[in-house]
Structure 1
Amino acid sequence: MLTSAFSGGFMSYVAWIALVPVLFSISEDSHRQAALKGFVMGLFHSMTLFSWIVYTMHVYGFLPYIFCIPVLVLLASYIALYSSLSVFAASFFKGRPFLTALAFALVWVCTDYARGIIFTGFPWGFLGYSQHEKLSLIQVADLAGVYAVTFGIVLFNGFIYWAISLAAKAKTIGCRAFGVSGSCVLLFFAIFFAGYFYYGQSRLQEISAKESNAGRSKIAMIQGNIDQSVKWDPAFQIFTIEKYVAMTKRAAEEKPDFVVWPETAAPFYFLFDKSLTKAFLDSVKDIGVDLVFGSPYVIFKNKEPEYFNSVYSMDKEGKIKGRYDKTHLVPFGEYTPLKDWIPFIGKIVPLEGDFSTGDPGRILETASLKIGTQICYEVIFPRLSRLMVKNGADLIVNVTNDAWFGKTGAPSQHFAISAFRAIENRRTLIRCANTGYTGFVLPSGQVRSVTGLYEDAIRVGDVPVLKEASFYTEHGDLFIAVCFAALIMCFASGLLVRLSKK
């Protein structure tokens, strides 16, 4: 049920009831049994949601399936520890459905936050992302990020659990079982969810109106659809440049403010590889548009190379105005963690050496706008987008190469994650991918002009440029601190109840 909620459409509503069964299943269990059930739930959910890892490891990591599947199981087992902890915490409040529901939601979002930090972080597949199409349900993200949406979903599951438990109790011993405490709990849930849904609907209308009245910028994006198997082949480098240039010339006919190419669209070390750099500059200088493009970069310090996954901003005269270097790298994709301990495991990306990290929050400038650039995997980390908007970014630009994922569920999951960065910071997000999905996400979360997968595509859009700062942009993850404090209070009250019974 959890995994099906990420399928989109009507199925996304399944998330709002998917956790009810596990709460009932632990009602008579020990804490250890509850933790085990939470682990099993998380294990199978993670294995199905992240099954695309097997494809990527097999096709581009050249690992046999016999090794790819254990990698998936290992990752899923790690993620399952977090859901196990949430169910384990809920089991401490057996017989008190309200505290069960509240503690379950609080621990769930706190462990999500922890998962986004521990071991460099892997905040992919949070439950809130399943609702990316339900705009009125996700506007609270501008208050507390995707964590607020996840909290609402998990707490609603807890409310259903409480309501059914109370109905069963009333049937057994009479309606007086509802009592004063039941009325208070019902009032709490009624106020919370009424506020949640009212805020979402009213905020959606408000932001949509602001989008209509905001200043506009015309942006073009090029989806070159370069096959990953030939992307770094020297025989195809000139072909790749020529293809992007030809598509950019067509896009330039609509006179965009700037044109965006995807991550590593120029598949060579820009400014270091002299012949390819000259061919590139000779090709683009006559187009007459500002260009934002991805290309790796290398410098030498003490005769040792340092490699960067970079994005450049170039004006219409061919002058480089700035460079952004990726700050959050993909383990085993762009660097090899613990390579001194596990030297037999290397990177999937076919480039020399490990990449180095750049400076977080660096802004690129075009002729008229400041842009916050997120390269591929970086967009799954809310903090990075928020930092760029705080530093003055008018737009968020996410360039990516999702060709690694093939036609699996990963590209749509990745797009759903990136859409939340627009809502959280109330900025238009420009998402340009090599093979899709490419599209615009407005500050309200509305998606425009999305391409399909594996097609040559040009997208030109007139998008709003909002200047206001959201509560989340200004205050960050304050909600997580509140959840943690509330969680301590829940366990403290539970402990007091147990001591009073002794």
Structure 2
Amino acid sequence: MATVAVSSNGVKVAAAKQPGRGGFLLAVAGGLLLAASFPALDLEPLAWVGFVPLLVAARGRRPRAAFALGWTGGLVFYLATVYWVAYTITHYTAVPLLLAIGILVLMASILACYHGAFLGGLRWLEERGVPAVWIAPALWVALEWLRSWFFIGFPWATLGYSQYRHHALVQMVEVTGVYGISALLVFFNAVAATVLAARGVRERGVFPALLVLTALVVAVPLAGKWRAAAIARRPPAGRLRVAIAQGNIEQDHKWDPAYQGETMARYRDLTGAAAASRPELVVWPETATPFFFQEPGPLRDDVLELAERHHVHLLFGSPAARQTRGGELEELNRAYLVSPEGREVATYDKIQLVPFGEYVPFERALFFVDRIVEAIGRVAPGLVPTVFHLPAADFGVLICYEGVFPALTRRFVDGGADFLVNITNDAWYGRTSAPYQHLAQVTFRAVENRVPLVRSANTGISAFIDPDGRIRWQGPLYETAWHVDEVSWPGVRTFYTRFGDVFAWACALVTLAAVGWGTRRGIV
């Protein structure tokens, strides 16, 4: 028995269709288009149309069939975007290639459920008279926001990040966060798909949506360009000369005692070269010291003496350990600040750990998977977002993966940080697209909080990022390098810094209201 499909205006349009080969191919095409909009391909315009094949394929189908199409597109998207997970597992654990690919497919299959829920939910709401073109942006943002903290919390490749080079557009994130750009992209896709399906703008509801979309596409970049210019014209609230050292230490050598002396000699040389330009702060990458800095001894003394010799503040990453009340040994991923007098003055322990890197989610079920990071005990998260104090400025440190968590980042700035530092070791990813994706996502933290961001990465990509999200200087990948630059901050306290993900919360509430209304109304 055929099921009658209903358009958003309540008009019966066609019999519900089941997924066929055409729908499957459209779903695959949509996933590939969306993936290509991200680094390293960086074909960002494709994000404006990548959902169109999926939305067209789902039109007139039952919610369950639409979910299957969305899941297929999502699977293709994640396999093409985070394929480097398999590379990392095979290179740095004992897991064989086929099993690593299986883990990647399992991970992508779970994440693809969000794409499935989007298309399936959209069709479910459409059947109950909710206009898809209007609810699609809120529904997508609600699901993206959920993905950022639910289950294992994996906000990587949020749709809005694809537009990191569209500087006029990204200025809006100081209000909406990255989710505002995601919403605009989905709205554009939804309107385009509706116009294609209607073969024009005469269908009721299409013209108003097209009018609103046109206003947004014109007004948002113009407002962003004006805002960036206004920020640039403000006298800086402060300045600081900062140096980064990119050691380019191979991951295979990083913890080998035979290379310990060579590693430290490289950082001594880089620091000495940078110190000639008189920076006030020198930044080394995540876990730069191949030993436990907290342990007294000649290695620790050498680092303290280096800061004193060049009379600089020295920030660097180092593993640390603590013992629990039960006697269990826990490892910490720590950042240390050493003063020009050669004294340790403050530390920060990484709060947001990397799944499968520093811990294995659901260890009992995934007992065969080892952590990628070698550790003497269970890697434990830190608790407090430390704000480091210098004579001329305060700053917060994001360690590695923490740079893709906007809600965590704003806590540092809300706590008084004038600028941000991201220390990371992306050597795990090899020459894949992951280092480029990581850098692209971190640029949004600068705009959301209107602070400069300094990035020191072991093998790259190190960078200096301005408060408007522009990458002022970008270092090479897999080369030893140092760079000194001056960072300045406007002293602006943004809406996002003060209130966080209000826009995402609003989208979630709108989605819940639509679901509640649709549940009461039933299929029309």
Scaled by the length of structure 2, what TM-score is found? 0.89
Give distance in 2, aligned partners of 1:97 and 1:3: 32
For 2:320, the equivalent position in structure 1 comes to: 297
For 1:45, the equivalent position in structure 2 comes to: 77
For 1:274, the equivalent position in structure 2 comes to: 297
The secondary structure found in structure 1 opposite 2:377 is coil
How far has the Cα of 1:190 moved from its partner? 3.4
For 2:12, the equivalent position in structure 1 comes to: none
Give distance in 2, aligned partners of 1:221 and 1:119: 35
The answer as to whether partners of 2:426 and 2:458 remain within 8 angstroms in 1 is yes
The answer as to whether partners of 2:39 and 2:436 remain within 8 angstroms in 1 is no
Sequence identity of aligned pairs in percent? Answer: 35
1:424 aligns with 2:448: yes
Deviates more, 1:141-150 or 1:301-310: 301-310
For 1:105, the equivalent position in structure 2 comes to: 137
Give distance in 1, aligned partners of 2:513 and 2:294: 57
Give distance in 2, aligned partners of 1:134 and 1:154: 16
Deviates more, 1:454-463 or 1:478-487: 478-487
Give distance in 2, aligned partners of 1:260 and 1:145: 27
Q: Which amino acid aligns with 1:460?
A: V
Give distance in 2, aligned partners of 1:37 and 1:437: 36
Scaled by the length of structure 1, what TM-score is found? 0.92
Q: Which amino acid aligns with 2:51?
A: L
For 1:174, the equivalent position in structure 2 comes to: none
Q: Which residue of 193, 199, 202 maps to 2:223? A: 199
The answer as to whether partners of 1:98 and 1:185 remain within 8 angstroms in 2 is no
Q: How does 1:433-452 map to 2 (within 5 A)?
A: 433-452=457-476
The answer as to whether partners of 1:314 and 1:366 remain within 8 angstroms in 2 is no
Give distance in 2, aligned partners of 1:284 and 1:205: 38
The answer as to whether partners of 2:452 and 2:488 remain within 8 angstroms in 1 is yes
For 1:245, the equivalent position in structure 2 comes to: 268
How far has the Cα of 1:273 moved from its partner? 5.2
For 1:215, the equivalent position in structure 2 comes to: 238
For 2:191, the equivalent position in structure 1 comes to: 159
1:133-174 Cα shifts (integer Å, max 9, x gaps) = 111121111111111111111111111122333434x7xxxx
Q: Which residue of 157, 179, 182 maps to 1:147? A: 179
For 1:173, the equivalent position in structure 2 comes to: none
The answer as to whether partners of 2:40 and 2:436 remain within 8 angstroms in 1 is no
The secondary structure found in structure 2 opposite 1:449 is strand
Alignment CA distance shift 1:339-1:32 (3 Å) = closer
The secondary structure found in structure 1 opposite 2:224 is helix
Give distance in 2, aligned partners of 1:30 and 1:342: 35
The secondary structure found in structure 1 opposite 2:310 is coil
The secondary structure found in structure 1 opposite 2:60 is coil
For 1:472, the equivalent position in structure 2 comes to: 496
Alignment CA distance shift 1:97-1:231 (3 Å) = farther
Deviates more, 1:346-355 or 1:294-303: 294-303
For 1:360, the equivalent position in structure 2 comes to: 384
Q: Which residue of 121, 132, 136 maps to 2:153? A: 121
Structure 2 unaligned blocks of 5 or more: 1-32
How far has the Cα of 1:221 moved from its partner? 0.3
How far has the Cα of 1:242 moved from its partner? 1.4
- Give RMSD over aligned pairs: 2.2
For 1:331, the equivalent position in structure 2 comes to: 355
The answer as to whether partners of 1:6 and 1:130 remain within 8 angstroms in 2 is yes
For 2:10, the equivalent position in structure 1 comes to: none
Paired residue total: 491
Q: Which amino acid aligns with 1:281?
A: L
Q: Which amino acid aligns with 1:26?
A: A
Give distance in 1, aligned partners of 2:117 and 2:253: 44
For 1:388, the equivalent position in structure 2 comes to: 412
Alignment CA distance shift 1:434-1:166 (3 Å) = same
Q: Which residue of 395, 407, 411 maps to 1:371? A: 395
Structure 1 unaligned blocks of 5 or more: 171-176
Q: Which residue of 290, 302, 307 maps to 2:331? A: 307
How far has the Cα of 1:368 moved from its partner? 2.0
